């Protein structure tokens, strides 16, 4: 079975690094922060348990 060329390994390495960066950027910029008012309302609602 033939070995892969070293150039092929480096291109594969860069390929995975680029995919990792793209995935990280997409996750970072797709996050929508919740405003402070909604956070307070959510925390108040979660503390009021109706048993």
In the chain, what percentage of residues exceed pLDDT 70? 53
Task: Report if residue 26 sits inside a domain.
Answer: yes
> Which pair of tokens denotes residue 13?
């390495």
Report, as an integer, the average pLDDT of 26-47: 68
Task: Report if residue 32 sits inside a domain.
Answer: yes
Task: Report if residue 36 sits inside a domain.
Answer: yes
> Which pair of tokens denotes residue 33?
């922060």
The model scores a pTM over 0.85: no
pLDDT for residue 20: 97
Range of the domain at 29: 6-47
In total, the chain counts a number of residues equal to 51
pLDDT for residue 50: 62
Task: Report if residue 33 sits inside a domain.
Answer: yes
Report, as an integer, the average pLDDT of 2-26: 85
Task: Report if residue 1 sits inside a domain.
Answer: no
Domain count, the chain: 1
């Amino acid at each position: 079975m033939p070995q892969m060329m070293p150039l092929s390994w480096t291109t594969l390495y860069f390929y995975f690094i680029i995919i990792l960066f793209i995935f990280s950027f997409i996750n970072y910029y797709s996050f929508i922060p919740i405003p402070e008012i909604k956070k307070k309302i959510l925390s108040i609602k979660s503390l009021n348990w109706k048993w």
